[in-house]
Amino acid sequence: MPAEPSPLIDPQLRRIDTLRVSVTDRCNYRCTYCMPADGVPHGARDETLTFEEIAALVSLFVRLGIRRVRLTGGEPTVRRDLVELVRLLRAIDGLQEIALSTNGHLLAELAVPLRAAGVDRLNVSLDSLRPDAFRRITGGGDLGRVLEGLAAAARAGFAAIKINAVAIDGFNDGEIVDLCRFAWSRGWVPRFIEEMPMAGGQTYLPGRCLPAAAIRARIGDSEPGARVISDDGGSDRGAGPARYFRLAGAGPEGAARRFGIISPMTEHFCDSCNRLRLSTVGALHACLGHDDAVDLRSPLRAGDLAAVERAIRAGVAAKRPGHTFQLVGLGGPRKAMVQIGG
């Protein structure tokens, strides 16, 4: 029997157990903080990993200790037959969790088949509850459709649904509490993301990133006598970068009042980063904030799985201690979020 391969541990002794898989670099929305105004170049069709290739890579990653996969993009639901990929991944022994990040536009049709195929958890982007503002920030998105998609997801029985909003001063800072109440009243967890300067800072408006402390203050101030307390425990901690809090005080407490903050800019979490990212064309990125990557597609297509494993280990060995987003214009990556999968 072959020896168990050693797990993926990087030079900072971070154990890697989560893989984000971008299944497409295309998107049906054009979020202003994500998609550069001129769009992004797309890989040729034959450069894109097939579902069988993705599943072969995920199987190998699982042998190396990956336990959770998140499907992302671009917008993963625009990749034709995504449900088929979920079925292939679900059949992989040892893969404990399949999660999906989506803008929700196609969820009304896809929530039930995705859940039936094996998606456990869902993150849905929702930056505003105002239809006009939503249309503006998403470059033409349809809030009504996303709300229908969320309602379908609620009926489909996912283990958890999280609502993700990029928090932008002067855009949705006045909606932080509304987004919390919207999510809480449905049993979901709202999360707020500090905007990152991706794409060489092209999509970034300095000064508009709403810092984690301001997000907590807005939620804490929403009720007389209420306070925000840390709440990182429990089974619903999630495997991702968010730190969790709870609004304690008047009103019902517990899971229904939890919220998360992903704060790469003001309270970064690089020391606990446990993930890798696989791009649509089979490049393995060890850090969202840097452009370096290793090619897994060539050795995979050459049928050399030992070389794929060596490339994965090289990527992990080169994982940077942290991003440098704080150095806006100097420190961010050239790649756009839509190219690597947020």
Closer to ligand SAM by Cβ: residue 311 or 323: 323
Residue 123 has, within 13 A of its CA and on its CB side, a CA count of 28
Binding test (CB under 6 A) with ligand SAM, winner from 25, 75, 175, 231: 75
* Binding positions for ligand SAM, 186-225, rule CB under 6 A: 193, 195-196, 198, 203
**Under the criterion CB under 6 A, does residue 172 sit at the interface with ligand SAM?**
no
Least Cα distance to 242 among 259, 256, 228, 227 occurs for 259
Instruction: Find tokens 């890579």 and name the residue.
Output: 57
Closer to ligand SAM by Cβ: residue 163 or 311: 163
Binding test (CB under 6 A) with ligand SAM, winner from 102, 172, 279, 280: 102
Give the number of residues in contact with ligand SAM, rule: CB under 6 A: 22
* Binding positions for ligand SAM, 301-340, rule CB under 6 A: 337-338
Distance of CA 188 to the CA centre of its chain: 16
**Minimum gap (Å) between residue 192 Cβ and ligand SAM:** 10
Binding test (CB under 6 A) with ligand SAM, winner from 24, 32, 59, 164: 164
**Minimum gap (Å) between residue 73 Cβ and ligand SAM:** 5
327: exposed, middle or buried (Cβ count in 10 Å: 0-12, 13-18, 19+)? exposed
Least Cα distance to 262 among 222, 210, 311 occurs for 210
Binding test (CB under 6 A) with ligand SAM, winner from 56, 64, 86, 166: 166
Binding test (CB under 6 A) with ligand SAM, winner from 18, 72, 128, 263: 72
Of 42-50, 68-76, 128-136, 249-257, which part binds ligand SAM (CB under 6 A)? 68-76
Residue 97 DSSP SS3: strand
Helix, strand, coil percent content, the chain, rounded in steps of 5: 35, 20, 50
Of 28-36, 37-45, 177-185, 213-221, which part binds ligand SAM (CB under 6 A)? 28-36
Using CB atoms, what's the residue nearest to ligand SAM? 342
Helices (DSSP H) in the chain: which residue ranges? Answer: 51-63, 82-90, 107-117, 131-137, 143-156, 176-184, 212-220, 297-301, 305-317, 337-340
Residue 160 DSSP SS3: strand
Find the length of the chain. 342
**Minimum gap (Å) between residue 104 Cβ and ligand SAM:** 8
Least Cα distance to 91 among 62, 121, 123 occurs for 62
**Residue 284, token pair as written in the block:** 């393995």
Binding test (CB under 6 A) with ligand SAM, winner from 19, 21, 34, 137: 34
**Residue 305, token pair as written in the block:** 């799985």
Closer to ligand SAM by Cβ: residue 72 or 274: 72
Binding site for ligand SAM (CB under 6 A): 27, 31, 33-34, 72-73, 75, 101-103, 125, 164, 166, 193, 195-196, 198, 203, 337-338, 341-342
